Amino acid sequence: MSAKRVSYFEASARARVAALVDPGSFTEFCPPAQRRTSPHLAQLDAPVAFDDGVVVGAATVDGKPVLIAAQEGQFNGGAVGEVHGAKIRGLLERAARERPAAVLLLVDSGGVRLHEANAGLIAISEIMRALMAAQAAGVPVFALVGGACGAFGGMGIVTRLCDEVIMSEEGRLGLSGPEVIETVKGVGEFDSRDRSLVWRVTGGKLRRGLGEATRLVDDDASAFRAAAVAALTHHRNAPADLASLKAAQAALTERRATHPDTRDGLEVWRTLGLAQPEAVPMLASDEFNRQLDALATEV
């Protein structure tokens, strides 16, 4: 191992794609030169991006063909506008036709782009439908979450539809973001400036502990790649038929009973039986995974 560690958190969408796929294997669809920019942002006289904040294309990972989308969190918070959403939807529809080994969604998004209102909302629902159609065609979809914007709003739901969710502790997953909750319900409900609390409630370790994330990795692009490679070999399947959906629903009901009135990740660690709950946030992912796996085998 001689290569310098590349922080997935800090990398741009294009740098993430480059670090994940086999060198030289990436072909971009709708590349920047085609200038498929947002008509809505132009109408509002706001800056546009040539790729509308998402990179989509085909590549190989460990020699296996994949389709891949990477959201750029720095452009409007990775938010989904009409063009941005259409690119992801088109990629997933292509997956249903071409049947690659998997689709990788590199999610880094606050959700719908509010400038585009209904067009963004419709785009999200189209992505969800296309994602499930790809899964129904036998193509697994993996979400990778480790950017500054995390996976929130509609993209939080899209992430939870995926077969595998690969996260770092730095990545966050939720529906309403911390600032939204504080704005609506007050600081007593959730203090969005308490960064430690924000990560204990939305971060990768909690999501992994609750089973929403399937793999927890360090903030390292090569660790994300290794997890994607492993998932290509063996992956969980999202609930697809009625029986498995009912089982998932029952598991969620049971979870609510196991963790009643929980307001902090620390309480979850304690309930799960981790020896030192307060030490969990600083654990390296390997050690955290080891402790979690040890608990699973005890039961």
Partner 1 sequence: MERFEITLDARPAGAARRSTLCGVVASGNLEVLVELGQDPAACTVEVSTSADGFRDIWEAVLADFAERHPAGGLRISINDAGATPAVVSLRLAQAFEDSAGGAA
| Least Å from the CB of residue 113 to partner 1 | 13
Q: What residues numbered 215-234 form the site for partner 1, per CB under 8 A?
A: none
Query: Strand 215-217 and strand 164-168: pairing?
Result: parallel
- Which residue in 1, 2, 3, 45 binds partner 1 (CB under 8 A)? 45
Query: Which amino acid is located at 286 in the chain?
Result: D
Q: Is 108 among the residues that bind partner 1 (CB under 8 A)?
A: no
> Binding segment for partner 1 among 29-37, 127-135, 165-173, 203-211 (CB under 8 A)?
29-37
Q: Is 51 in the site for partner 1 (CB under 8 A)?
A: yes
Among 5, 10, 43, 50, binds partner 1 (CB under 8 A): 50
CA distance 239 to 163: 8
Minimal distance, residue 25 CB to partner 1, in Å:
11
Binding letters toward partner 1, positions 69-88, x by CB under 8 A: ---x-xx-------------
**Residue 83 beta carbon to partner 1: minimum distance, rounded to whole angstroms:** 14
Asked if residue 32 binds partner 1 (CB under 8 A), the reply is yes
Please state, in angstroms and rounded to a whole number, the distance separating the CA atoms of residues 72 and 55: 8
- CB closer to partner 1 out of 68 and 102: 68
Distance CA 85, CA 127 (A): 7
- Indicate the Cα dihedral angle 8, 14, 20, 24, nearest 10°: -150
280's CB contacts (< 8 A; 6+ apart) are 205, 265, 266, 269, 274, 288
Residues written for the chain: 299
Phi, psi angle pair for 263, to nearest 5°: -120, 0
Take residue 118 and report the two structure tokens written for it: 């209904």
53 vs 265, beta carbon nearer partner 1: 53
Q: Is 47 in the site for partner 1 (CB under 8 A)?
A: yes
Of the two residues 46 and 294, which places its CB atom closer to partner 1 in the complex?
46
Task: Return the range that interacts with partner 1 (CB under 8 A); candidates 31-39, 86-94, 109-117, 254-262.
Answer: 31-39
Please pick, from the candidates 6, 18, 48, 149, the single residue that binds partner 1 as defined by CB under 8 A. 48
Written as one letter, the residue type at 210 is L
Q: Is 25 in the site for partner 1 (CB under 8 A)?
A: no
What are the DSSP calls for 94-160, one per residue?
Answer: HHHHH--SEEEEEE-B-SB-GGGHHHHHHHHHHHHHHHHHHHHTT--EEEEE-STT-B-HHHHHHHH
Dist CA 30 CA 58 (whole Å): 11
Q: Does 46 bind partner 1 (CB under 8 A)?
A: yes
CB of 78 to partner 1, least distance (A): 11
Distance in angstroms (rounded) separating the CA atoms of residues 159 and 164 = 9
Judge contact between 165 and 214, C-beta under 8 A.
yes
**Binding-site member from 14, 160, 259, 270 for partner 1 (CB under 8 A):** 14
Of 31 and 239, which CB lies nearer to partner 1 in the complex structure?
A: 31
Chain residues binding partner 1 by CB under 8 A are: 12, 14, 24, 31-33, 35, 45-51, 53, 72, 74-75
